[in-house]
Amino acid sequence: MKNKHEWHDWAEDGEQTYYRAILHAGRWEFFSTRKSDPEWEKHTILPLEKMEALREVMWNKHLRRRVPLKHIDYIDQLISDLRLAKPGDGDSPSA
């Protein structure tokens, strides 16, 4: 079964950026492209704010019974890992 989730966002320079997350054969793949660029760039994982946007897209689909909860749970785990990996403010020791 192949699940594809797509959404878009506006970049800081005002250009539209498109995102795509695909679950195929038990593996998640993440892609992005800009409106001016026809090629999709593959990512290991998207930045935290983009993963949160993906979760919102998937949650809305879950409410319409189009996405199983286990897929959202997996994305929640990735988001949690990203939050833990994000460096905190002022955590570095002073020299």
* Per-residue pLDDT, 88: 61
pLDDT at 94: 44
Q: Does the reported pTM lie above 0.85? A: no
* Closest residue by Cα to residue 18 from 43, 83, 79, 1: 43
Residue 92 is assigned to a structural domain of this protein? no
What burial class does residue 61 get, using C-beta atoms within 10 Å of its C-beta: 0-12 exposed, 13-18 middle, 19+ buried?
Answer: middle
Closest of 42, 44, 31 to residue 78, by C-alpha: 44
Q: Which domain holds residue 40?
A: 2-85
Residue 90 lies in a domain: no
Smallest CA-to-CA distance from 22 within 9, 44, 6 is with 6
Q: Are strands 2-10 and 41-43 parallel, antiparallel or unpaired?
A: unpaired
Ranges of the chain with pLDDT below 70: 1-2, 88-95
Number of domains observed in the structure of the chain: 1
